Amino acid sequence: MPVRSFHGFASRYSAMPLRLACAVLAASAVLLASGCSSALSTLAGGQALPFSNAQQAEQNAREKTDLDKRRAALEEVYEKYIKIIANSKEGSKFIDRARFAAAQLQKELVVPGGANYDRATQLLDDVIASNPTGYLAARARSEKAAIRANREAIQTARSRIDNTPDDASDEQWAETLGAILSLADSYESLGDYETAISEYERMMEIADRRSKKANDVFYRKAAEAQFKIGNIYFYRYFDYADGWPEFDKLRQDYPLSDQAKEAESILRDADKALQLIKEEQDYIRTVANKKALDYLKAGRDVTPYEIYGAAGEQAAQAYLRSARLWEKPPLVNRVYAIKNYRAITRQLWSESFVAGDAAFQIGRLYQDNGDYLKALDAYEEMFDRFPHSIWHNLAIYNRAVCYETIREFELAYREYKAAAGFGTDETFYRAAEQKVRQFEQDEDGDGYKFYQEQQHGASDRDKDSYPGSVKPMGEEPADDGLAAQ
């Protein structure tokens, strides 16, 4: 059976790509100095600056490739969010966003004995109690349900594993491996990647011992576990230096598996993408004034010309190409894509055409990832700093979609109406125009339009349900079929 060698492996996908991955990430740390982002924040409110700083600190923490340093930095970010909560009045603009962000981190920051899910659940309960019919409350309910479901799945899986007899048959061991897989998947879903990796490794070790011939059921289960480990490093940690050998082990130890072919494709395409990114960063390094970048990182005002001289346009295009390579398969690294786009908006804002493009892409990436509040912040920054962006009209429509998703229907109606007003040449015109018609309906004839009813949690199908009608606290908002659409 395959013997897993954690060190000293050799193949055409070994040392060279590892050095390449390390070189790319090291260069990124030097070149992508974002500077003092809070000074450019478009957020407003009493805790706007601390919240903006906390968000940027979280972004910076997630860019760290050393997992211990990343964890320590995220712990500091968690304390920033807790401080914002403590210093905010109930019902203030950022308190629930800080609570939700802190809950997410509390799930992720695993301590001996597991993550603090009870503390995460309490923070989510506070979000729900603060505004029961709001968007964040709906997300908090979903998060609580996911935590509960995964913890129950963990208990069920552990019970099945613990009851495996010493003299279990191959069929029983196959069922036990399925339980270990369920256990590891649940930990991964919760964000406890360390425990997930440990369980996948246990699954692989048992499967290797039970496998009697190549490509039997145990061979395939071991390959599946190895593939999932590589996926965590590549797509959860974005740690290519540690993820590369995990995929390479799969290719070497389980060459007959379907996952080995997929890993081969990932490594080949990642090699090409990282090489192209390195070439772009090597060029930027040759034209960038490092001292000026250091000044920018320290919070001093530095002009694009002081950093890049006459090569500003070329540097902006290099960042743009890097960002697009980061965001598409096989890397799918939104963190580094956003960082490259943000380097343009922070360091090369005078290249207004490219900077306006980059500012839009930041909002789009957040929106595609379901981070609608961050997307709205990013679009707001684009409108404020790059109002003539080529993506201005599409950003209006995207903002309408975000507002509707977070149940800000009056703002969504305003934006849909503006988007529809751009004319039939726009690709989104038909969708925007249909939304305007839908939002202006008054199906129950009570004098309130659909968007007004939805804004206040009322129904447009019931005359006795209208803005201002008495509703019990904590009741779910009326849907009127909107979610299905």
The model's pLDDT over 132-187, given as tens digits with 9 standing for 90+, comes to 988 999 999 999 999 999 999 999 999 999 999 989 999 999 999 999 999 999 99
Task: Work out the mean pLDDT of the chain and round it to a whole number.
Answer: 88
Look at 101-110, 362-371, 468-477 and tell me which has the smallest mean pLDDT: 468-477
Tell me what pLDDT residue 111 has.
63
Q: Residues 61-73: pLDDT tens digits? A: 988 878 889 999 9
Q: How confident is the model at residue 29 (pLDDT cuts 50, 70, 90)?
A: low
Instruction: Note the pLDDT of residue 165.
Output: 94
The answer on pLDDT for 270 being more than 60 is yes
349 pLDDT higher than 70 = yes
Judge whether residue 13 has pLDDT over 90. Answer: no
Please count the other Cβ atoms lying within 10 Å of the Cβ belonging to residue 176.
21
pLDDT tens per residue, range 389-399: 999 999 999 99
Least confident of 109-113, 205-209, 351-355: 109-113
pLDDT, greater one: 425 or 47: 425
326 or 63, greater pLDDT: 326
Quick check: 30 pLDDT over 70? no
Asked whether the beta carbons of 161 and 176 are under 8 A apart, the reply is yes
pLDDT at residue 5 greater than cutoff 50: no
Share of the chain above pLDDT 70, in %: 86
pLDDT of the residue at 437: 96
Give percent above pLDDT 90 in the chain. 74
Does position 485 have pLDDT exceeding 80, yes or no? no
Statement: residue 11 has pLDDT above 70: no
Torsion sign (Cα): 206, 212, 216, 219: positive
pTM score of the predicted model:
0.87
Residues paired with 114 in a beta bridge: 111
The crossing angle, in degrees rounded to 10, of helices 258-287 and 240-253 is 150
Q: Which of 25-29, 211-215, 433-437, 471-475 is predicted most confidently?
A: 433-437
What is the average per-residue pLDDT within 234-245? 92
> What local confidence, expressed as pLDDT, does residue 113 receive?
53
Secondary structure, 3-state, the chain: CCCCCCCCCCCCCCHHHHHHHHHHHHHHHHHCCCCCHHHHCCCCCCCHHHHHHHHHHHHHHHCCCCHHHHHHHHHHHHHHHHHHHHCCCCCCCCHHHHHHHHHHHHHHCCECCECCHHHHHHHHHHHHHHCCCCHHHHHHHHHHHHHHHHHHHHHHHHHHHHCCCCCCCHHHHHHHHHHHHHHHHHHHHHCCHHHHHHHHHHHHHHHHHHCCCCCCHHHHHHHHHHHHHHHHHHHHCCCHHHHHHHHHHHHHHCCCCHHHHHHHHHHHHHHHHHHHHHHHHHHHHHHCCHHHHHHHHCCCCCCHHHHHHHHHHHHHHHHHHHHHHHHCCCCCCHHHHHHHHHHHHHHCCCCHHHHHHHHHHHHHHHHHCCCHHHHHHHHHHHHHHCCCCCCHHHHHHHHHHHHHHCCCHHHHHHHHHHHHCCCCCCCCHHHHHHHHHHHCCCCCCCCCCHHHHHHCCCCCCCCCCCCCCCCCCCCCCCCCCCCCC
